[in-house]
């Protein structure tokens, strides 16, 4: 018994002595993360900082990532280029900003008339979406990690009411990704601008309207001070994701536990960002309306025109790009299944709750 005790004690002591050496054997890394979202947004930029901090916490401070806002290293819309080239080790951005490089990048953020936040995570992590996107990321020189979701977005701010498709003719509207191409198909003029550049453009009349995310961010950016009409839904971004784009060489050189820490931190970021917007948007919407914002739904015929334009656009892009067509077909099959299920369970419950709570005395 005594001998077994001594052997066990010796093994425990050896393990305790070995543990610090295992930790010290891990490399100490200091990375830089260039971002597309301004520091004034304690949502999207907050999420970038949150993920960087969590990586440090999960690796006992051995793996540090410093967060940078647009313009501190590269402009907002050059983050993918910076990460892919190795100017920075990692970037935090929205992949659909870069569809000019590859149309399939839109699936890394949102496809107009696509999936909501839960469905996007499900498609990416349970239905093969990440595997379909892996070659897209590699061609850009990065490893993509889904790292955030804003939830369903709003349809943006307009200086004048949108009563019909005719009201969109010649309208200059800030919008990202393929939502802009769809706006152009119905007669508007789309412009893609970084978040910090939207307010000055709207104030100077360079654009007639703009979309960003939703009430909380839009209030912070001050769009309601210039444009009165606030439209919904943001059909082009029903569940848009943000991405940590890690330079491919740096990713492949990471120790497995550092890779796991980065993946875990990004998954936390996805949940926390969506929850943060859900918590902050309702009160912000009430404040905006109290301060004069005119809340409007897009008219049914306008929504129909947008949807038809989207289908036409997907046909055009798919004819030129077989990979886009392949991913689109997979995505749309999954969306059809999700719509069937959500209509039965989630959507019917939401509608029932709205009806029941409206009947309650106040």
* DSSP secondary structure of 187-199: T-EEE---HHHHH
Long-range CB contacts (within 8 A, 24+) of 23-26: 23/60, 23/62, 26/59, 26/62, 26/255, 26/257, 26/258
CATH, domain 24-149+236-305+321-362, list 3.40.190.170, 3.90.79.10, 3.40.1360.10, 3.40.50.300: 3.40.190.170
Residues 129-171: pLDDT tens digits? Answer: 999 999 999 999 999 999 999 999 999 999 999 999 999 999 9
Kindly tell me the burial class for residue 56, based on how many C-beta atoms sit within 10 Å of its own C-beta (0-12, 13-18, 19 or more).
middle
284-302: average pLDDT: 98
CA distance 74 to 86: 12
Is residue 196 very low, low, confident or very high in pLDDT (cuts 50, 70, 90)? confident
Q: How many whole angstroms from its chain centre is CA 27?
A: 31
Per-residue pLDDT band for 259 (boundaries 50, 70, 90) equals very high
| Strand residues in 29-130 grouped as ranges (E) | 29-35, 63-68, 90-93
- pLDDT value of position 177: 87
């Amino acid at each position: 018994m005594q001998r077994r005790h001594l052997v066990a004690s010796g093994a425990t002591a050896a393990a305790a002595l070995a543990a610090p050496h295992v930790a010290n054997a891990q490399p100490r890394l200091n990375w830089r993360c260039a971002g597309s979202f301004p520091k004034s947004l304690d949502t999207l930029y907050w999420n970038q900082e949150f993920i960087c901090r969590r990586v440090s916490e999960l690796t006992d401070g051995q793996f540090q990532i410093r967060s940078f806002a647009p313009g501190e290293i590269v402009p907002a819309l050059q983050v993918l280029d910076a990460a892919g080239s190795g100017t920075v080790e990692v970037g935090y951005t929205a992949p659909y900003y870069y569809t000019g490089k590859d149309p399939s990048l839109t699936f890394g953020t949102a496809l107009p008339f696509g999936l909501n936040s839960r469905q996007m995570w499900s498609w990416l992590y349970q239905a093969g979406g990440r595997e379909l996107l892996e070659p897209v990321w590699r061609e850009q020189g990065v490893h993509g990690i889904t790292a955030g979701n804003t939830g369903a977005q709003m349809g943006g701010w307009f200086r004048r009411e949108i009563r019909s498709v005719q009201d969109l003719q010649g309208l200059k509207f800030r919008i990202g990704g393929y939502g802009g191409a769809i706006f152009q198909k119905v007669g508007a003029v789309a412009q893609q601008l970084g978040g910090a550049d939207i307010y000055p453009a709207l104030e100077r009349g360079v654009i007639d309207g703009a979309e960003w995310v939703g009430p909380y961010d839009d209030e912070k950016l001050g769009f309601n001070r210039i444009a009165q009409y606030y439209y919904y839904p943001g059909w082009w971004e029903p569940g848009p994701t943000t991405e940590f784009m890690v330079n491919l060489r740096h990713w492949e050189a990471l120790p497995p536990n550092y890779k796991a820490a980065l993946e875990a931190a990004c998954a936390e970021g996805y949940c926390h960002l969506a929850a943060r917007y859900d918590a902050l948007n309702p009160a912000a919407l009430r404040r905006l309306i109290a301060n004069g914002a005119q809340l409007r739904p897009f008219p049914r015929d306008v929504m129909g025109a947008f949807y038809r334009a989207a289908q036409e656009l997907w046909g055009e892009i798919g004819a030129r790009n077989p990979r886009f067509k392949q991913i689109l077909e997979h995505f749309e099959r999954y969306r059809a299944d999700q719509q069937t299920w959500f209509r039965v369970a989630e959507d019917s419950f939401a509608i029932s709750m709205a009806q029941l709570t409206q009947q309650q005395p106040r």
